[in-house]
Structure 1
Amino acid sequence: MGIKIFLPLLFTLFYSIGQAQSVIKIGLIADPQYADKDTRGSRFYRNSLDKLDSAVSAINREEVDFTVMLGDLVDAGPKDLAPTLLRLEKLKEPVYNILGNHDYVDVEDGAHLYKSYKMPNPYYAVEKGEWLFILLNTNELAEYSTRAGSGQREAWKNLNDVLKTEKRSNDQPWNGGISITQLKWMEKQLRKAQSASKKVIVFTHHPLYPENGLEALNNREILTLIEKYSVVKAVISGHHHPGNFASYKGIPMITLEGMIETSDENAYGVLELDEHQLDLHGEGRMTSRKIDF
């Protein structure tokens, strides 16, 4: 083979390898809501353990870089947590949890709940390659997550009073919001990502958009911040079990279907990210989506 032919082929080979290495794969699970209690309506609480087993096995086969569990791992608080964590521990790669409103049931001090879920902090960020993943805690300001008389309970009350005055439909006991401190932390992360030319995915339990009564209490403040940074490529959430999708000023807002629903049909997925595209491969009830950036 002549040198003039060999060099372009060599360049193409190395370019292809570089492209393959740039793909990030992420397992996605939302709202298993396991509990050792009888079925109610469309929620089959005990069945979630078998569903988690199936999802973990499938995600392991996909050789993901990590998995994100988007909240409500359990239905009635940490008393049912042990068997669910046992399933997640079978994942070959790290699992990053975020908290949902059901995770706080019968919790005396919500500020320290994250430790039970093997999380580094109540909200945190994960870097991988050219990506930054921001995992928010949209339960920070909620009646169910704060102590009576605390500053955060007062902040929640003030926020909720504003929503009532504005006649918003999301002033519900199962919704929460984020503090000014968390909002400032998020902006710091976005600035860092923008300076480093990293792309960002934001994960939340409560959706930010569309507004259907299940969105985070101060979703509009969070969205106002997000829209300032073009590095944000998508927001992925749980909480709304039927799933949902909308575009907010060009940013995809994906709500994942909840695993708890139906007796035997599962809901989980694998997200593939490269420089130009988001490709969500949904299994069972989880919707597959392919979105160009």
Structure 2
Amino acid sequence: MVKTKFYSIVICFFLFTHVMVKGQQSIPVLRFGVIADIQYADKDDHGSRFYRKSLEKMENCIANLNQEKLAFNVVFGDLVDQGPKDLPPVIELLNTLKANYQNVLGNHDYVNVNDREQIYQQFNMPSPYYAFEKANWMFIVLNTNEVSEYGSNIDSPFRKEWEELANSLKKDGRKNMLPWNGGISSIQLTWLENKLKKAQENKQNVLVFSHHPLFPETGYEALNNREILNVLDKYNHVKGIISGHHHTGNFAYYHKIPSITLEGMVETASENAYGVIELYHNKIVLIGQGRMTSRTLDF
């Protein structure tokens, strides 16, 4: 009789544990909206880019994201095509999001900007690169424009870093040595590693956000993507990289780290591109709308 009761308790315990684990796997820890390359401008269409249409697409996107239960939203750079002069209507629409939004700087956001190191203030950002935390996750926002010709002031130490990096990339014949690509400084790289160490100590999972992709290497990647990836690869709690910039979208694994490039909103006359990311204990799910590709990535 005692033995029977013991086995019953053991079975109940395992059933309870099984149900709890299944429950954790089926309910997302948190959900957030993603938008890339709005690239609004009050100018005529060019090729597959329909600049004025982006405001209409944003209205539709925001109406749908506001129907979702989201912790926040992220815009992955290139909010505008020709710099901050076209920014006010974009910010006005973003301010109608029910969940707050986090911006990432893109190369087009720097057009016709005099003080490049202060541009982040116009984009409602706390700093050019930053991190924030939600539900035992750390989200790291990089500024992959910092080391570039277009993104650094002429007398800045970042310009010198860019010149040295550009010479090295040209010597190596890298395809990404292009005027619209940038990288991060040695200062930002050290900051990134310190954030990763902190997340590891606190047992937090990490997602990294950037405008320029870090992987795969297609010519659109950040100038010093390999240095950044070498740092990320040292930390098992880095669960993914999400970027914009390459409007057609892309995906690849860098070792065990999934790297998603989101499709750009500015492309096509009528088809939108945005999505919702769900974070679970064991996977990342991207639910894409319009041109944005849906993906399920198991840890």
TM range (shorter): over 0.9
Alignment equivalent of 1:267, drawn from 273, 292, 297: 273
Structure 1 residues 192 and 21: CA distance shift in structure 2, 3 A:
farther
Match of 1:130 in 2: 136
Aligned residue pairs total 289
Structure 1 residues 21 and 291: CA distance shift in structure 2, 3 A:
closer
Match of 1:153 in 2: 159
What CA distance in whole angstroms lies between the structure 2 residues aligned with 1:221 and 1:17? 39
- Tell me the CA shift for residue 21 of structure 1: 7.1
Tell whether 2:68 aligns with 1:62: yes
- Tell me the CA shift for residue 150 of structure 1: 2.1
Match of 1:115 in 2: 121
Match of 2:46 in 1: 40
Match of 1:86 in 2: 92
Tell whether 2:58 aligns with 1:23: no
Match of 1:139 in 2: 145
Residue 271 of structure 2 aligns to a residue in which SS? coil
Runs of 4+ in structure 1 deviating by more than 3 angstroms, as ranges, are 7-22
Structure 1 residues 209 and 10: CA distance shift in structure 2, 3 A:
closer
The question of whether the paired residues in 1 share the 8 Å contact of 2:25 and 2:282 is answered with no
Letter in 2 for 1:94: N
Match of 1:75 in 2: 81
- Tell me the CA shift for residue 13 of structure 1: 9.1
Tell whether 2:179 aligns with 1:173: yes
What CA distance in whole angstroms lies between the structure 1 residues aligned with 2:22 and 2:95? 34
The question of whether the paired residues in 2 share the 8 Å contact of 1:22 and 1:129 is answered with no
TM-score, normalised by the number of residues in structure 1 = 0.94
TM-score, normalised by the number of residues in structure 2 = 0.92
Letter in 2 for 1:38: D
- Tell me the CA shift for residue 145 of structure 1: 1.1
Tell whether 2:112 aligns with 1:106: yes
Tell whether 2:207 aligns with 1:201: yes
What CA distance in whole angstroms lies between the structure 2 residues aligned with 1:285 and 1:21? 26
Letter in 1 for 2:279: L
What CA distance in whole angstroms lies between the structure 2 residues aligned with 1:103 and 1:288? 27
Match of 1:97 in 2: 103
Match of 1:245 in 2: 251
Residue 168 of structure 1 aligns to a residue in which SS? coil
The question of whether the paired residues in 2 share the 8 Å contact of 1:279 and 1:289 is answered with yes
Structure 1 alignment gaps of length 5 or more: none
What CA distance in whole angstroms lies between the structure 2 residues aligned with 1:73 and 1:131? 25
What CA distance in whole angstroms lies between the structure 2 residues aligned with 1:278 and 1:17? 16
Letter in 1 for 2:148: A
Q: Which has the larger radius of gyration?
A: 2
Write the deviation string for residues 99-118 of structure 1: whole angstroms up to 9, x where unpaired: 00000000001100000000
What CA distance in whole angstroms lies between the structure 1 residues aligned with 2:283 and 2:218? 27
Match of 2:3 in 1: none
Structure 2 alignment gaps of length 5 or more: 1-7
Residue 290 of structure 1 aligns to a residue in which SS? strand
Letter in 1 for 2:136: E
